Amino acid sequence: MENKILKIEKFSAGYGNNYVLKGINLEIPEKKVTAIMGPSGCGKSTLIRCINRIHELNPDAIYKGHIYLNGEDIYRMNPTIVRRKIGMVFQRPNPFPTMSIYDNVIAGYTLNGIKLKRNEKDRIVEEALKKAFLWDEVKDVLHRKGTFLSGGQQQRLCIARALAMKPEILLLDEPTSALDPKATSRIEELIVELKETVTIVLVTHNISQAARVSDYTAFLYLGELMEFGPTERIFVAPKHKKTEEYLTGKFG
């Protein structure tokens, strides 16, 4: 049996007095890619922002229910620890503009005040960039600004920055929506490779991307989880009419 690294129980979240997510129950298997799909405004981004506790940084944020990481309630953990264990990469590449490629990769340590020896830093930077398929492209320019890279390279730099903290889960929020097809396919190869070592939760609008890279798919509609299961089954024989309509492009 697969270990379920993340359990979401009766979880609702939103802003002010409006719940965007309603009563979500979901178990995410370890070292697999789980795609979260659904039309715009269905709560996909809100859900992953709750999973690494960024959601609550919004002054209007509301939430109730439980999210467990390996059996531990993340809302009872120090949020800094949660964000270390559950890394996040956003839609638009966002390397820190004033930092070099090298400093971007270890930014998580610097910002958390974790002191490292020079050789440790070097090792972490090299490992993370290799995992993000970026080392060969940047190893000779590590001390140039991260913003000098192409969009696809910047996104892989952001993935390296998240991986440097050795997270158990990596959340990717539409990671290729701002990239061209070639850069997109590099990131997709990377996602498939990374699940050997880290659990990936991928929010995507791109139905064919979910089909290509994910092992499991969750379909959200109007803040509710309509269905969840192996990607192949959901794509071939969805149980819910709304899922079928979404997959066949009747709405988006």
List domains and CATH numbers for the chain.
30-45+91-247 (3.40.50.300)
Q: Name the pLDDT band for 252 (thresholds 50, 70, 90).
A: low
Tens of pLDDT, residues 148-191: 999 999 999 999 999 999 999 999 999 999 899 999 999 999 99
Contact 142, 125 (CB under 8 A): yes
Provide the pLDDT confidence category of residue 224 given band limits of 50, 70 and 90.
Answer: very high
pLDDT of residue 103: 97
pLDDT digits (tens, 9 = 90+) for 114-134: 999 999 999 999 999 999 999
| Mean pLDDT of the 38-58 span | 94
Inform me whether the pLDDT recorded for 71 exceeds 90: yes
Q: What are the E-state strand segments in the chain?
A: 4-15, 18-29, 33-37, 61-69, 72-73, 86-89, 169-173, 199-203, 216-221, 224-230
Q: What is d(CA 164, CA 160) in angstroms, rounded to the nearest whole number?
A: 6
Residue 26's pLDDT band (cuts 50, 70, 90): very high
Give the model's pLDDT for residue 238: 95
pLDDT at 1: 67
Mention every residue, 6+ apart, whose C-beta is less than 8 A from residue 167.
84, 85, 86, 87, 198
Residue 28 phi, psi dihedral angles, 5° rounding: -100, 120
Cα–Cα dist 199/55, whole Å: 20
Q: Would you state the pLDDT for residue 40?
A: 86
pTM of the model: 0.94
pLDDT in tens, 227-248: 999 999 999 999 999 999 999 8
pLDDT band at 4; cut points 50, 70, 90:
very high
Pick the closest to residue 37 from 245, 243, 188 (CA basis).
243
Cα–Cα–Cα angle for 61, 83, 62, rounded to 5 degrees: 10
- Cβ–Cβ under 8 Å, residues 132 and 113: no
At 48 the three-state DSSP class reads helix
Q: Is the pLDDT of residue 218 over 80?
A: yes
